[in-house]
Chains A and B, each alone.
Chain A
């Protein structure tokens, strides 16, 4: 988000937005925005009045004056449309650059036939080999490959994707670097997440979010108040023998209604989604971004988010009666088929080639969440490696004693933040392997920032509670779920939601899908399974687990931008009153000259200046609407003070200066 200051207004985008500002004048489109719709009616009336003065009306001021008011009102509308159009154009441009990666690519079907990617339907299966570009989004159903995803993520290191498991998704436009995979197409053409996102940005399927609706009601309310104020002013003025021209009425009305926020409202919403897209997050609805700003609880997986990659084995601790070599042998054997980084690190630490051991007819036992252990069986030997509880169970079931020193070592390792893995051979405990986590540098600061934002962070880990507690404290998370099974996540989310909190989580596996769906904001990794991506309401193209923090800030920025611009817009009215009200009555009631505190040169120039200020403030604020108001985690009250000072007080003062300056210029011409 830092990089796009320069590119805020690119030339081609400007051209497109310029064209659209006129297209959007269509009253049917305008009707969606009650504030600007009333301005459009006012503009139409002013057009008629201008013609009327041209053909002889004398009591409404000169044609030039009336026509100027008409032109400025038209400009106000165009500026507001332009804001929306440029936001749309930027969002589209961003989406297009992602879409470019998936231009027509040939896809080779199973039967050898080659068709274009656009002809692929959901359920088709195609084959990719080293050097091929993947034709469209899909799921690997067979094989494993290294894939270059830099086109999407910008990350140059290749990633491994394989069938089964949680990393089975491939994205259209990415490139296979090695091996061969079979991919099943998961979306109909034109219905991928990216396509849906583009449709959202383009406005076709954009729906107002609940908060946007509530704000629109507030703004419509203010508009109604000022309709009443303006309409009733007519008999008041007649009573005071101070006739008011139609131009003045309309100018007063347009200046008072919150056109600034009204004109920028939809641009702010689109820009929010666009900012998410720039952070490489595809959102499925505007509401999801908004909800992200409200998150109270954040569920984060320990691995990859809080700790770097994976745990590594650091020590072997044999039981008292056991020789270290025996422990190492058993440890290595049990890790032979264990492809997890932990398993590999055990072999690495042992420094022996597992194939150097003589093993007949080995039978490998895979790890499962239920047994919480893995191992190998051969001949009369049964080696198991797993969590303390699991191995203790095995040992004690066979009526063997679980050695006390192991028990103590386990506790010691756990309380130091390590993970103990106990190894047993033929139901006898041999010793403990210590695995250690490395906490990501800088993660503490990020959690501190979240805490200041009022968000509770929860670490989810398969570790035992002692280890989890140690890492949780070291990393600075507020709570943890240890020895987490998939349903634990779900239960935790439900519990927090029942207490009224909003929960966000990130996940990739199929077994994360229910929790992703349950969470208020579920971010699925792009590398995750299709089920996970369907269940969540955002997809992170970077597969970056800390992305949630950015998403939350984008959501907060979105609301803040709306709030501050509303405040600014309404605060502006004070100065506009002091410009227009004296101008309306000065001729009939000269005493009211004292109200003309800005000392504007004439009633007509005062009214023109107010209307001009009202129009040009919109383009001035477009960059703010697009970039969003900066969020600072300084606590809600401090934030409110700051916003009130800048946008409230600023909103009162700025128009006084602005209108005066414009008046100086305008008075040169009338």
Chain B
């Protein structure tokens, strides 16, 4: 048991230790400072700029940034639809997988463009290698989009008053080439060495001891799985994601994948502080996020390790923890840990069935996505957190008798309006989506595998995962049909782009405002006190909006089990 806990601590500490220098490196990349990898990437990037006619030194204001982001994302989406709907006829399809239906292609492309990877298909039977590679490309650029958006935020708070906020395409390309690519490369190598396949050959045939022939799916999986975690995407190469023996062969790869998904969200926190030259501010963010993370993780590990009381009641030995739906090679503790890491960060890869976790573990997984700002996805986690900071700054500014200001910029009605809309959006998408699915049982409830509270949790989880751009599934939901593909598709789009545009708009407005130097009466935002305030705002907004829904799902299930 202690070994299991030690394993978890090792994963977290390793991620943190690697994230600190990586954060400084990221800050240098966005700041245009010299880095070790310049000689490798400078020429490559030059080729990109030349082909596309982009002038990376042309600085954009926040609106130009957002137009660039939406345009390039639209291009990716259209290309993706085209490829997935015609993959049967295109090359690199050794397993002869069919074309995708329009609604599934819509859902799949959207969910990869928005860094969610909801996956209403199974990789083995639903996707050609070309399709997989296009999705892998999207995994890079969607993570890059999030990182580039966060870089705009960095830029705003480094300058005093400006509307020159760097070039979006430069941020995007650098994010992909200099940050995501090198880290993914290392992760992919570690996976290949541990047995994950990396091939363009079709299914392998094995003859079992009984003499049956078994077809085993392979493919260019290692590269895919690396970026799936590094880019906090979460979409698996195979249907069952990181529970699959090829995607996640052993405890070591489990650790690698855990570190891989933690590392960039953590590094971005430190990159922020380094970039704006307020390292203490980074530690405040890290502190708040980590407290939230631990409050969700520790109970989960505990509950999963203690096992299911209903099974104990049947007189079955439960000493290995709640093993239903879990892979024995990872164990209950590491699975509990994974379930929260993958939901606080918007990865959404799974190494077990979340459907089978204990009721309150399921609630914590839901809460992690409802908050969506304890670490959060590549870049977007910080943007979500920024909204909570704005709300906390506003209320606490009033409490100390000063009109609220953040980093020397006054927070006024316009900023509050945007912050409130973004804060509202998440509960709106989740609750309204779930309400529609329950109000029309012919679409929602009829596709459930489980009745009652657990079934309700399945619906709630699907929309929460979509709105949070997480992509993990509670599963137990027949989700490849018109209803789920279309509704979650729209939730995905709204849940992705508005929470990027909102914070960037606020930042853009703030960037134009007069800078007010810090005085004695200014509320310091890099203190534990302010951290507590941010935490309270997050806890209250998440708890207050979702408490009734959680009551009817996991909480009711939990009390009914007693």
Query: Footprint of B on A, CB under 8 Å?
Result: 210-211, 213-215, 217-218, 220-221, 224-226, 228-229, 231-240, 242, 252, 256, 290, 293-294, 296, 451-456, 499-501, 555-560, 562-564, 566-567, 570-571, 573-574, 577, 581, 584-585, 589, 591-595, 631, 635-637, 639-641, 643-644, 647-648
Contacts and interface: CB of A to CB of B under 8 A. Distances in A.
B521 A636 contact: yes
Given A224-B424, A236-B438, A574-B543, A640 B523 contact: yes
Contacts of B382: none
Contacts of A215: 394, 398
B456 A636 contact: no
Contacts of B420: 217-218, 220-221
Nearest to A256: B544
B432 interface: yes
B401 A567 contact: no
26 contacts: A210-B403, A214-B413, A218-B416, A221-B420, A221-B421, A225-B423, A232-B435, A236-B435, A238-B438, A294-B403, A296-B516, A453-B520, A501-B516, A501-B519, A559-B398, A560-B399, A563-B395, A563-B397, A563-B399, A573-B540, A577-B548, A589-B556, A641-B529, A643-B399, A644-B532, A644-B533
B291 interface: no
A131 to B, nearest CB: 47
Nearest to B527: A637
Given A221-B423, A229-B545, A643-B400, 18 more contacts: A214-B411, A214-B412, A218-B394, A218-B420, A228-B427, A229-B544, A231-B435, A232-B432, A235-B439, A240-B456, A454-B519, A559-B402, A560-B398, A564-B399, A573-B544, A585-B556, A595-B559, A641-B529
Contacts of B543: 574
B548 A214 contact: no
Contact of A591 (B423, B549, B559): B559
B391 interface: yes
A658 to B, nearest CB: 19
B428 interface: yes
B555 A592 contact: yes
Contact of A225 (B435, B517, B544, B559): B544
Interface in B423-461: 423-424, 427-428, 431-432, 434-436, 438-439, 441, 445, 452-453, 456
Given A294-B402, A574-B543, A229 B551 contact: no
Given A454-B519, A563-B397, A239 B403 contact: no
B523 A637 contact: yes
Contacts of A455: 519-521
Nearest to B519: A454
B396 interface: yes
B352 to A, nearest CB: 26
Nearest to A564: B399
Q: Which of B413, B445, B456, B522 has the most A CB atoms < 10 Å from its CB?
A: B413
B536 interface: yes
Nearest to B431: A232
Contacts of B396: 563, 640, 644
A294 to B, nearest CB: 5
B430 to A, nearest CB: 9
Contacts of A555: 401
B524 interface: yes
A160 to B, nearest CB: 39
Given A237-B552, A567-B395, A581-B547, A639 B431 contact: no
Contacts of A563: 395-401
Contact of B523 (A224, A566, A636): A636
Q: Is the interface of B mostly helix, strand, loop or mixed?
A: helix
B168 interface: no
B515 interface: yes
A339 to B, nearest CB: 42
Given A240-B456, A581-B547, A637 B529 contact: yes
Nearest to B411: A214
Contact of B438 (A211, A239, A453, A499): A239
A218 B411 contact: no
Interface in B406-423: 408, 411-413, 415-417, 420-421, 423
Interface string B241-282: 000000000000000000000000000000000000000000
B63 interface: no
Shortest 6 CB-CB contacts between residues of A and residues of B = A454-B521, A563-B398, A556-B401, A454-B520, A221-B420, A563-B399
A643 to B, nearest CB: 4
A592 B439 contact: no
B17 to A, nearest CB: 30
Contacts of A631: 401
Contact of A229 (B394, B411, B417, B548): B548
A599 B99 CA distance: 58
A235 B435 contact: yes
A218 B445 CA distance: 35
A232 B434 contact: yes
A98 B94 CA distance: 93
Nearest to A557: B401
Q: Which of A224, A231, A581, A591 has the most B CB atoms < 10 Å from its CB?
A: A591
Contacts of B417: 217
A296 B397 CA distance: 15
A558 B427 CA distance: 32
A296 B541 CA distance: 33
Contacts of A226: 544-545
A242 B456 CA distance: 13
A399 to B, nearest CB: 50
B533 A591 contact: no
Contacts of A589: 556, 559-560
Contacts of A452: 520
B546 to A, nearest CB: 8
Nearest to B445: A239
Contacts of A558: 401
A214 B394 contact: yes
B398 A210 contact: no
B516 A500 contact: yes
A224 B432 CA distance: 13
Contact of A556 (B402, B456, B532): B402
Nearest to B428: A228
A291 to B, nearest CB: 8
Contact of A451 (B412, B427, B520, B548): B520
Nearest to B429: A228
B46 interface: no
A215 B395 CA distance: 9
A451 B399 CA distance: 19
Nearest to A578: B547
B562 interface: yes
Contacts of A294: 402-403
A639 B533 CA distance: 12
Contacts of B140: none
B514 interface: yes
B492 to A, nearest CB: 19
A595 B557 CA distance: 12
A583 B470 CA distance: 33
Given A225-B544, A228-B428, A640 B416 contact: no
A232 B436 CA distance: 8
Contact of B560 (A581, A591, A648): A591
A235 B438 contact: yes
A233 B402 contact: no
Q: Which of B402, B559, B562 has the most A CB atoms < 10 Å from its CB?
A: B402
A231 B516 CA distance: 43
Contacts of B394: 214-215, 218
Contact of A592 (B431, B536, B545, B559): B559
A640 B533 contact: yes
Given A236-B435, A595-B555, A577 B399 contact: no
Contacts of B514: 500
Contacts of A456: 519
Nearest to B423: A221
A290 B441 CA distance: 53
B83 to A, nearest CB: 37
